[in-house]
Chain A
Amino acid sequence: MADHADGPLLSTPLTDLHRELGARLVPFAGYEMPVQYPAGIIAEHSHTREKAGLFDVSHMGQAWLIGPDHETTARALEAMVPSDVAVLKPGRQRYTVLLNAEGGIVDDLMVSRPQGAENDGRLFLVVNASRKAVDYELIKANLPDNVKLEPVEDRALIALQGPMAAEVMAAHAPAAADMAFMGVAEMEFDGIAVYVSRSGYTGEDGYEISVPAGAAEPLARALLADERVAPIGLGARDSLRLEAGLCLYGHDLDETTSPVEGAITFVLQKRRKDEADFPGAARILSELAEGPSRVRVGLTLAGRAPAREGAEIRAADGSVIGVLTSGGFAPTLGAPIAMGYVDPAHAGVGTPVKLVVRGRELEASIADMPFVPQRYHRKPSA
């Protein structure tokens, strides 16, 4: 969430539309982005949980990794991530992390493999806005000569999230209705060629739609014309992802945290663990076997006062056991929630702890995540 002070702020293909909709625009990762619309964060948050919210996430990095065939491209990416990319089937997406040599997380990202023989050897990456430059440099430096990184600068990315997202989407892109969670497909949206994934960052069913920049505004307007859809800003995006227990890079994950500490060990697949050939494998496998020195946990607070990033976490006896990395108010629960890192000895669900806010100790306890149940679209047979 670095606010780049140098240079003018970048806009997205939807910036004019945000202004027209009355958004409050703020600097975010070098872009001028809507933090909220006139409805406000709580109303936008609830709308997404109840109906469908439209998010402009065009600031995120979209890029193709292009090699001669799937095996070659997948192996090239596997040199930088701990996930099994080779096994990814056409039309499927996976969450993974770029690792540094110490096993620290350089970024978290989505990687997908498009369908179709003509796309063999192509992988599509979606990375964090604030990490684009770092990621691309790292990836380029580690690719073999026959695999290229092609950042995509001429497309917008629009997310549609919420329990009504599928019905809304079906009216414009019927093929989207049949997609499984973490599926990807090329399709037409009112005649516009789009690349769609069934995934998101809210804990709800929904889609992320990669669309040519010139067609982004018509697509957004077509979705917003549906009375079930409202525009949602970054404020609610943050409260939604926190309730869903999802990490925000630069806060809950950084270059010092490993996937084991970050409690995202699902990015590690068996073949990669057996082969132990990813960056930082020695540290990560040792943490898996013996436990990490700190681990990400969720926390619920007894009172109404929220605790924010940076608040110290103390054990019942007053000793310091960790620090919050995210914290705020959960509109769905009507109560404050937080995420942080603690000594694993104190990580058990229900463990009472204290959070230090403005010099005072607030009562809290370690909680299961997600805080609000995820409602992804699961096909019985997918």
Chain B
Amino acid sequence: MSTRYTEDHEWITVEGDVATVGITDYAQQQLGDVVFVELPEVGRKVSKGDEAAVVESVKAASEVYAPLDGEIVEANGVLADEPGKVNEDPEGAAWFVKIRLADISQIDSLMDEAAYKAFVEGI
């Protein structure tokens, strides 16, 4: 399945009923140097729009919202020791969380790559 995107600059890929979520390259550029990432506990139930993580750059803290309903099944522990990975490889190794989706069909409400690209260009 292709990557989907939110207006909060998160990317989502889905395998089975598990979504991997991270922030986009555009988001990391806007944040600047990331110095700390706070991730949710595994097992936490989240609803679309809930605060799921916090990214701290040198300048400020920014929330990362759950893009879909579900349960956190994994958090990327690498980011605790190497928050700078978010700047280096935001759409790869620096994924934030994996969420077991309550309703896979919700992903249809998210933007595809072309729509996200147009969205960013319109900012």
Contacts and interface: CB of A to CB of B under 8 A. Distances in A.
Interface of A: 35-36, 40-43, 45, 235, 238-239, 304-306, 308, 328-329, 331, 336, 358
B33 interface: yes
Nearest to A235: B59
A239 B36 contact: no
Contact of A306 (B32, B36, B80): B36
A358 B55 CA distance: 13
DSSP majority for the A interface? mixed
Interface residues of B, number: 15
B36 A329 contact: yes
Contacts of B60: 308
B32 A304 contact: no
A308 B36 contact: no
A42 B58 contact: yes
A304 B38 CA distance: 10
A43 B83 CA distance: 15
Contacts of A43: 33
B35 interface: yes
Contacts of B58: 41-42, 45, 235, 239, 328-329, 331
Contacts of A238: 59
A42 B87 CA distance: 12
A222 B59 CA distance: 30
A306 B58 CA distance: 9
Given A40-B33, A306-B36, A329-B36, A358 B54 contact: yes
Given A41-B33, A305-B56, A306-B35, 12 more contacts: A41-B32, A45-B58, A235-B32, A238-B59, A306-B56, A306-B61, A308-B60, A328-B58, A329-B35, A329-B36, A331-B58, A336-B36
